[in-house]
Amino acid sequence: MYVLCSPCVLHPALRAEGITKPSDLELFAKTVKRCARFGIEMVPLPCPESLYLGPGRKPGTYLERLNTLEFSSLMVNLEQEVTAVIRERGPPLCIIGVNSSPTCGVSSTYYGAEEGRPPKREGRGVFLSKFPSVPAVDVAVFARYRVYLAAPLFSEAERGFNTSIARFLSTHLFDVHLPQEAGDDSDMRDVREQERLFLYNKSALEDADFIVAIIEGADADSGTAWEMGYAFALGKPVIALRTDFRRVGHHEHVNLMLEQSATVVGSAEEVLAVLQSPCMKRQQRISP
């Protein structure tokens, strides 16, 4: 498995001067870690802007700096190079782009102001738009892959369901923290083990990019509810999985406070949609 990626994800020095922030470097590093974690090869795209403008270029839109016949000719040649790679290796999982880039933007690009439109517009950059059949994922989305799975874990059925959800997420390249695997989950653990488990799981919550919470039954498990509340207070997105069709009110599946602090879904596939799984994006592209 491989991904094509904007070259600046691997080589940030290729970016225009002055635009790279520490948060960008963190996203790039997390993207590299995700690929390493799941054995995904990263194949960088050529950088049309660097090849055309040279190193140390100033920021600018497509219309300001790149709207020339020479640049169009260069992109034709680069498109042929990338197409040859895809033909030889097969389709990539996706292209990892960098939003706002005039060439490698995924859902936004600094194209330039014309006909009263603002310089930044929706859509792919001019280079990524050459590959419409390949799903594209912004680096800020791809870099968020650490999931904390909050769920009751007191019966064999609960633990088995938790494990199945964790494995399902792992097949979609998400790194899952499963509290039931963190240590002694019996009622015989001593005070020191309880403190260790609390601090260990609390740290995992703080490090997670997403919290997936299982809220089955008449009321959510108390520990799960605490984890959801703590995650919400930290500003982390919470996805609540509830396959139970029963409702507690006309407008509520379960506790109002939990619903208002989470995105409630009814299946594991819906969880993947909220998480923006790159595997799902690829499947959607190849479906008839």
In this predicted structure, the answer to whether residue 132 has a pLDDT above a threshold of 70 is: yes
Pick the last residue of a domain from 100, 126, 142.
142
Please check whether residues 16 and 137 belong to one and the same domain: yes
285 in a domain, yes or no? Answer: no
Say which residue, 264 or 284, is predicted with more confidence. 264
Host domain of residue 35:
2-142
Same domain, yes or no: 102 and 166: no
CA-CA distances (angstroms) from residue 148 to 31, 65, 140, 188?
A: 18, 44, 19, 25
Task: Please tell me whether residues 132 and 156 are part of one structural domain.
Answer: no
Whether residue 287 lies inside any domain: the answer is no
226: helix, strand or coil: helix
Q: Is the pLDDT of residue 85 over 90?
A: yes
Bridge partner residues of 150 (DSSP): 213
Specify whether 135 is located in the same domain as 150.
Answer: no
Q: What is the CATH number of the domain that holds 215?
A: 3.40.50.450
131 & 261 share domain: no
State whether 255 and 180 are in the same domain.
yes
* DSSP alpha helix (H) spans, the chain: 7-10, 22-37, 48-53, 62-65, 69-89, 139-142, 156-171, 191-207, 222-233, 256-260, 268-275, 278-286
The predicted structure's pLDDT at residue 282: 58
Domain count, the chain: 2
Asked if residue 127 and residue 186 are part of one domain, the reply reads: no
Residues 122 and 156 in one domain: no
> Is 52 a domain residue?
yes
Q: Compute the average pLDDT of residues 263-275.
A: 93
Averaged pLDDT, 234-260:
78
pLDDT one-digit tens code per residue, 67-81: 999 999 999 999 999
Q: What is the pLDDT of residue 91?
A: 94
| pLDDT of res. 287 | 44
User: 124 and 187 share a domain?
Assistant: no
Last residue of a domain, one of 142, 158, 191: 142
Are the C-beta atoms of 93 and 279 separated by less than 8 Å? yes
Tell me whether residue 215 is exposed, middle or buried, using C-beta atoms within 10 angstroms of its C-beta: 0 to 12, 13 to 18, 19 or more. Answer: buried
Residues 44 and 106 placed together within one structural domain of the fold: yes
9 and 132 belong to one structural domain: yes
Average confidence (pLDDT) over 130-143: 96
Q: Is residue 105 part of a domain?
A: yes
Q: Are residues 244 and 130 in the same domain?
A: no
In a domain, 288, yes or no: no
Quote the pLDDT of residue 143: 97
Q: pLDDT grade, residue 286 (50/70/90)?
A: very low
Position 190 in a domain = yes
Residue 156 is predicted with a pLDDT of: 82
Q: In 3-state terms, what secondary structure has residue 211? A: strand
Residue 284 counted as domain residue:
no
**In-domain check, residue 194:** yes
Last residue of a domain, one of 114, 142, 170: 142
Of the chain, the percentage scoring pLDDT greater than 70 comes to 91
Beta partners for 43?
Answer: 4
Partners of residue 238 on adjacent β-strands = 211
CA gap 133, 125 in Å, rounded:
15
